[in-house]
Amino acid sequence: MRITVTVNGQPHTREVEPRLLLVHFLRDELSLTGTHWGCDTSNCGVCTVQLDGVPVKSCTVLAVMADGHEVTTVEGLERDGELDAVQKGFVECHGLQCGFCTPGMLLTARALLDRVPDPDEGQIREAISGQLCRCTGYENIVRSIRWAAEASQKVAESEARQ
Amino acid sequence: MQVPAKFEYERADSVPHAIELLERYGPDARIVAGGHSLIPMMKLRLAQPEALIDINGLAELGRIAVEGDELAIGALVRHAELLDSTTATNLFPIFRDAERVIADPIVRNRGTVGGSLCQGDPSEDLSAVFSALRATAVIQGPGGTRTVPLREFHRGPYETAVAENELLIQLRVPIAPGTGSAYEKVERRVGDWPVAATGAVITVRDGVIAQAGIGLTAVGAEHFCAPEAEEFLRGKAPGEETFAEAARIAAEHCEPHADQRGPADFKRHLAGELTKRALTRANLNVAGSATDPNVAGSATDPNVAGSATEGRI
């Protein structure tokens, strides 16, 4: 079946089998290996990407279901050579150890901040509650997302003053 | 790598088209929406449909609206959308209670209300919720639509009243003044099925319970409800002792099975305790009663209707 999926702003057309999962479409067809592939059972959340701006577990979405839709992966967070605030937060606050859960965490964090710009710790913990960090580094992940929220607030305030 | 077996894929562009596709492919076709039960089952070959009919494009099935004295919830409403719908959660706080603990936030973005009910898992949360609410399922087939009370919807584990050539399109929940509702669940961790869970809905008129709904899941209650306990509550004034006795009757009605989530007697105990708690909280959010100084808890309780959850994701 012929599908066109817009990934990180770029349309990609491929001939795929209906049974191809979105995670494998991204990794194997488009070579976007930033999206990781974990438990295969929609538990661990490392395969999380945004589908039309909403975080989904791409091991449980068929590629054909993304036909005509927009997907954002970790490769799409950077803008004009500058890391997204959530990526900077993970750098600043040591938000990753092995890095396996990181891309999924970043996309969930981005979607959370788009909706709730100033989340408290409870809201952050709830937002990432469908994702596992096998290094158990949750404390720093929460701090990283808070850092991103505060940094974005500061940018917004300084822009408002100008 | 877990990959489903080969299947034909069709995208429905209307409800009649979906039904036409179901008729064309016959019993080996399955409807797919969120896919978060079906796709994992297909990976494990627990399900091996020859065709998937994708209804994700049917926006007409994704609405939540008050229609007359009923709340109409489309089958394609995502769990996250039901949780976010103040129309639904203000009328029935039980939806907020339950949706906060169904799967996890990312799965809730994808999974649908109709899919959860049609999966027919004996531990499914919304089956208990809609059973407690005495909802009606609207099912469409080649001959038009028909309605089935939710309490007749489940025919057994993984079996529902929806025929092979039919589609669940909507749930309708009766709205009655003086109604309060709540859901209580014990789960081992986020995203797990319940060890046990209970939903309670009570309608209070002139100081007595005019109607009660008790929904139970994961504890072997037929049709996800406890009719004897509901009957006991009818005509009585809401109160601690009454709720405790109803909870005892509800627990007795259950037939839980021991599994990795716990022994049967523990689940039976939970069914009773959670029923009591759900009834108590349902009573607190009966419209107008939260200000009653004699009622424990009061409107400052963040779990009670209408407070403190705005902005959560």
- Minimal Cα distance from B80: which residue of A? A54
Cβ contact A3:A11 at 8 Å: no
Whether residue A69 has pLDDT greater than 70: yes
Least confident of A152-156, B48-52, B160-164, B300-304: B300-304
DSSP characters over B108-146: HTT-BHHHHHHHT-TT-HHHHHHHHTT-EEEEEETTEEE
Q: Which two tokens stand for residue A47?
A: 């395969």
pLDDT of residue B158: 94
Residue B3 lies in a domain: no
Could you tell me which of B195, B66, B67, B175 has the C-alpha nearest to residue B125? B195
pLDDT of residue A38: 95
pLDDT of residue B160: 97
- Residues near A14 by beta carbon (within 8 Å), at least 6 away in sequence: A2, A3, A5, A25, A29
Contacts of A45 in chain B (CB under 8 A): 104, 106
Domain containing B120 equals 61-174
How many helices (H) does chain A have, and how many strands (E)?
5, 5
Contacts of A115 in chain B (CB under 8 A): 313
Q: Taking residues B256-274, report their average pLDDT.
A: 96
Residue type, B186: V
Q: Looking at residue B25, which CATH number applies to its domain? A: 3.30.43.10
Whether residue B167 has pLDDT greater than 50: yes
Domain end point (choices A46, A76, A106): A76
Residue A91 lies in a domain: yes
- Minimal Cα distance from B11: which residue of A? A65
Whether residue A67 sits in one domain with residue A95: no
Top-confidence residue, B13 or B308? B13
Q: Which residues pair with B208 in a beta bridge?
A: B205
Cβ contact A57–B106 (<8 Å)? yes
From CA B116, how far away is CA B103, in angstroms rounded?
A: 11
Residue A10 lies in a domain: yes
Domain end point (choices A76, A111, A133): A76
Cβ contact B72:B92 at 8 Å: no
Whether residue A151 sits in one domain with residue A91: yes
Q: How many Cα atoms sit within 13 Å of A146 on the Cβ side?
A: 13
Under 8 Å CB pairs connecting chains A and B tally to 87
Whether residue B143 sits in one domain with residue B92: yes
CA distance A86 to chain B (A): 17
Residue type, B62: G
- Minimal Cα distance from B56: which residue of A? A65
Whether residue B282 has pLDDT greater than 60: yes
CA distance A103 to chain B (A): 14
Cβ contact A127–B8 (<8 Å)? no
Interface membership of A129 toward B (CB under 8 Å)? yes
Find the helix packing angle between A85-92 and A102-115, rounded to 10°: 120
* Selected residue of A60, A105, A124 to mutate for chain B interface (largest B Cβ count, 10 A): A60
* Strand ranges for A75-147 from DSSP E: none
Residue numbers of A between 60 and 89 with CB closer than 8 Å to B? 60-62, 64-65
Whether residue B273 sits in one domain with residue B169: no
Whether residue A132 sits in one domain with residue A111: yes
Quick one: DSSP state of residue A76? G
Residue numbers of B between 42 and 61 with CB closer than 8 Å to A? 43, 52, 54, 56
Cβ contact A47:A104 at 8 Å: yes
Find the helix packing angle between A138-161 and A102-115, rounded to 10°: 40
Whether residue A64 sits in one domain with residue A26: yes
DSSP characters over chain A: -EEEEEETTEEEEEE--TT-BHHHIIIIIS--TTS----SSSSS-TTEEEETTEEEEGGGSBGGGGTTSEEE-GGGT-BTTB--HHHHHHHHTT--SS-SSHHHHHHHHHHHHHH-SS--HHHHHHHTTT---TT--HHHHHHHHHHHHHHHHHHHHHHHH-
- Minimal Cα distance from A1: which residue of B? B9
Residue A134 lies in a domain: yes
Q: Which two tokens stand for residue A21?
A: 């999962």
Residue A162 lies in a domain: no
- Residues near B288 by beta carbon (within 8 Å), at least 6 away in sequence: B178
Interface membership of A56 toward B (CB under 8 Å)? yes
pLDDT of residue B288: 55
Residue type, B87: T
- Minimal Cα distance from A69: which residue of B? B57
Residue numbers of A between 23 and 42 with CB closer than 8 Å to B? 24, 40-42
Whether residue A101 sits in one domain with residue A62: no
Residue B274 lies in a domain: yes
Whether residue B306 has pLDDT greater than 60: no
Q: Which of B2, B7, B313 sits opposite A112 (nearest CB)?
A: B313
Q: Where on the phi/psi map is residue B45: left (φ > 0), alpha (ψ -120 to 50), or beta?
A: left
pLDDT of residue B191: 87
Residue B306 lies in a domain: no
From CA A126, how far away is CA B194, in angstroms rounded?
A: 18
Label residue B300 by pLDDT band (50, 70, 90).
very low
Cβ contact A18–B8 (<8 Å)? yes
Residue B310 lies in a domain: no
Q: Looking at residue B105, which CATH number applies to its domain? A: 3.30.465.10
Q: Which of A40, A45, A56 sits opposite B110 (nearest CB)?
A: A56
CB atoms within 10 A of CB A6: 15
Contacts of A126 in chain B (CB under 8 A): 105, 312-313
Whether residue B140 sits in one domain with residue B235: no
Domain count, chain B: 3
Token pair 């509550």: residue? B233
From CA B38, how far away is CA A67, in angstroms rounded?
A: 19
Q: Looking at residue A51, which CATH number applies to its domain? A: 3.10.20.30
Domain end point (choices A43, A76, A109): A76
Residue A25 lies in a domain: yes
The string of pLDDT tens digits covering residues B80-135 is: 999 999 999 999 999 999 999 999 999 999 999 999 999 999 999 999 999 999 99
Residue A94 lies in a domain: yes
Whether residue B291 has pLDDT greater than 70: no
Contacts of B43 in chain A (CB under 8 A): 40-41
Residue B296 lies in a domain: no
Whether residue A90 sits in one domain with residue A146: yes
From CA B8, how far away is CA B61, in angstroms rounded?
A: 23
Could you tell me which of B170, B146, B154 has the C-alpha nearest to residue B215? B154
Whether residue A98 sits in one domain with residue A71: no
Q: Looking at residue B242, which CATH number applies to its domain? A: 3.30.390.50
Q: Looking at residue A140, which CATH number applies to its domain? A: 1.10.150.120
Domain containing A31 equals 2-76
Residue A54 lies in a domain: yes
Whether residue B185 sits in one domain with residue B262: yes
Question: What interface predicted TM-score (ipTM) does this complex get?
Answer: 0.96
Q: Which two tokens stand for residue B310?
A: 């705005």
Domain count, chain A: 2
DSSP characters over B53-94: EE-TT-GGGS-EEEETTEEEEETT-BHHHHHH-HHHHHH-HH
Q: Taking residues B268-293, report their average pLDDT.
A: 84
From CA B110, how far away is CA B58, in angstroms rounded?
A: 14
The string of pLDDT tens digits covering residues A71-115 is: 999 999 999 999 999 999 999 999 999 999 999 999 999 999 999
Whether residue B107 sits in one domain with residue B32: no
User: What is the CA angle B307-B308-B313, rounded to 5?
Assistant: 125
Whether residue B70 sits in one domain with residue B50: no
Q: Taking residues B21-39, report their average pLDDT.
A: 96
Whether residue B312 has pLDDT greater than 60: no
Residue B292 lies in a domain: no
Could you tell me which of B2, B190, B12, B26 has the C-alpha nearest to residue B101? B190
pLDDT of residue B292: 41
Cβ contact B311–A42 (<8 Å)? no
Residue B238 lies in a domain: yes
Cβ contact B61:B78 at 8 Å: no
Whether residue A57 sits in one domain with residue A96: no
Contacts of A21 in chain B (CB under 8 A): 3, 39
Sort strands B70-74 and B51-54 into parallel, antiparallel or unpaired: unpaired
Contacts of A1 in chain B (CB under 8 A): 9
pLDDT of residue B294: 42
Cβ contact B2–A123 (<8 Å)? no
Residue B125 lies in a domain: yes
How far, rounded to the nearest angstrom, does the alpha carbon of residue A21 sit from its chain's CA centroid?
Answer: 17
From CA A37, how far away is CA B79, in angstroms rounded?
A: 24
Token pair 């489903």: residue? B4
Q: Taking residues A3-29, report their average pLDDT.
A: 98
Whether residue B191 sits in one domain with residue B163: no
Residue A56 lies in a domain: yes
